Amino acid sequence: MRGKRPTSDVPGYMIAQVAAGVLAAILVLFMKGDAKISAMAFERGALVPLLAEFLGTFALAFVVLNAAAAKANSNNSFYGLAIGFTVLASAFSLGGYSEGAFNPAVAVGIAAMGLNALGNIWIHLIDELAGGAVAAVTFRFVSPDDVQRAVVSPLIGLSERTKANRPAQIVLSARCSKGSTRVGCWASLPASQRQGLGDES
């Protein structure tokens, strides 16, 4: 929905993630041995866990899009902390209401382990897909490409004509000594380099 991946890739991602969630559940049960597991009961109905899963998934997906996918934050070193602390905060604040899956693969995994009843898995899947979709739409609304380009670097906001003349501007700066006027330096450039720099007189 962000528009960066073809829709034909989606089924493969979904199948791989669900399979990984089931495999992780089987591995945990094997390592734990005869673990005593009881499914969480939503005694107050479905509305509370629905709201908790939606909010947690929205927060996680929105932070991932901004910290790890936005052009304004490309090549940053904090995306791991941002995503990790979002998961931590959501788990502590919302996990008690819904088991804190915030991810369809996790929802399938905890259902396979018995931590969530199969009859309740729809609560997680619907909310997590909805939360991710709303996060993607919100990201595209608040972070359009032209805004992100302006944040990355002032040079990226220059017009194509100005960027094409950056070498001439560099030459101009290099030729200007402390005792020279900018007009003199500009006049010393060849006509091909002066074009597009504007009138310096």
Residue boundaries of the structural domains of the chain: 7-154, 158-194
Residues 124, 39: Cα–Cα separation, whole Å:
14
Give the chain's largest Cα–Cα span. Answer: 86
Give the pLDDT confidence of 25-60 residue by residue, as tens digits. Answer: 999 889 887 777 777 778 788 899 999 999 999 999
Question: How far is it, in rounded angstroms, from Cα 52 to Cα 116?
Answer: 15
For 7-154, CATH number out of 2.60.40.420, 1.20.1080.10, 3.30.70.2860, 3.90.1570.10 equals 1.20.1080.10
Within 10 Å of residue 29's Cβ, how many Cβ atoms? Answer: 15
Structure tokens belonging to residue 176 = 């200007």
pTM comes to: 0.65
**C-alpha to C-alpha distance for 2 and 59, rounded to whole angstroms:** 16
The stretch 82-87 carries a mean pLDDT of 94
Q: How far apart (Å, rounded) are the C-alpha atoms in residues 38 and 83?
A: 29
